[in-house]
Amino acid sequence: MKLSHKLMMVSAAVLMGVSPVVGMANSASVQAAPIAHAKGVHNTYGKNSRVKMTKTMKFVDRYGKKTSKTATKGGHYTIWNVKNINGEVYYSIQTDLKYWIPAAATEGTVTYKSGKTTYTLKSNGKKVVTSTSTAKSTKKAAKKTTKKVVKKATKKTVKKSESKKDSKKTTTKKSSAKKATKKATSKKSSKIKVVKISMKKKAYVYDNNGKRVKNYLGTSYIGKDVTVKGLGTKTIKGTKYYALKPNHYYVKASDVTVK
């Protein structure tokens, strides 16, 4: 009898020691390292991507099905992943991809990188605006800055030397300055005009040759009422397009509204 009593006590202690504790705070922040995800899921910069819920709603799983967990209005969450579900952008609040919320139901900024392009998503509780930046554009900006510095230094040197020269060379300087002004004007006119465009309906994404792409941010199209930046226009085979990323991704002008 004593032996049986001891065995029962040990079994109870073991059961109590391994009982799991399950819980989920209103302001989730999972510290585990990101795991390998399925195609179409993008890792964010973690703690630098924070949002606040603008409405109370149920979380969904990675397939868009509602879960039993509730995201409460005013709750703050760290976003670890970004994915398109049924044409809409969704945020994952855990690295295990269990719980997702629609980006349009949040306020805040989320950033992630895909290839050489960095994507910044800003939401105001109604719409999500996406902007992009690439390493190439940064290099171009650096080159332009360097050229400007060189031009200024060259102009100063030219002024000093020309002050010692005769009137003929002064006339040459004026004509050279006019040419430089014309070049600067032509450069300004060639700058891309950036506008905000909103999808009238589900808008498919096309490549530089006017063919549909299969994977743009994890899908082949952009959902209705999603607002993005149009980085100039281009006519491909007689059809006008707005650039999402020049020379890479485009949407038809007929599918969008310019704001």
pLDDT value of residue 103: 95
Backbone Cα Rg of the chain: 28
Span 174-203, average pLDDT = 72
Span 139-155, average pLDDT = 65
Helix axes 135-162, 167-189, angle to 10 degrees: 160
Whether 103 and 84 have beta carbons less than 8 Å apart is answered as no
Between 200 and 144, the more confident residue is: 200
Span 7-18, average pLDDT = 42
Strands 194-199 vs 256-258: parallel, antiparallel or unpaired: antiparallel
pTM > 0.85: no
Whether 246 and 237 have beta carbons less than 8 Å apart is answered as no
For the chain, how many residues are written?
259
HEC profile for 58-86? Answer: EEECCCCCEEEEEECCCCEEECCEEEEEC
Cα gap 228→93, rounded to integer Å? 23
Span 83-103, average pLDDT = 92
Q: Please, which residues bridge with residue 90 across strands?
A: 83, 102
Cα gap 60→70, rounded to integer Å? 9
The tokens of 241 are what? 């397009």
Q: Is 46 left (phi over 0), alpha (psi -120 to 50) or beta?
A: left
Give residues with Cβ within 8 angstroms of 174, minimum separation 6: none
The continuous run of DSSP H or E covering 174 comes out as helix 167-189
Span 172-201, average pLDDT = 70
Share of the chain above pLDDT 90, in %: 48
Span 83-94, average pLDDT = 92
Cα gap 233→250, rounded to integer Å? 9
Cα gap 172→162, rounded to integer Å? 10
What tens digit of pLDDT does each residue of 224-236 get? 999 999 999 999 9
Average pLDDT over all residues of the chain: 77
Weakest mean pLDDT among 27-31, 131-135, 216-220: 27-31
3-state secondary structure of 258: strand
The pLDDT of residue 146 is above 90: no
DSSP secondary structure, 80-124, as one string: -EEEEETTEEEEESSTTS--EEEGGGEEEEEEEEETTEEEEEEEE
pLDDT value of residue 20: 35
The residue written with tokens 């992009």 in the block is 132
pLDDT value of residue 228: 93
For residue 17, the number of C-alpha atoms closer than 13 Å in the C-beta half-sphere is 6
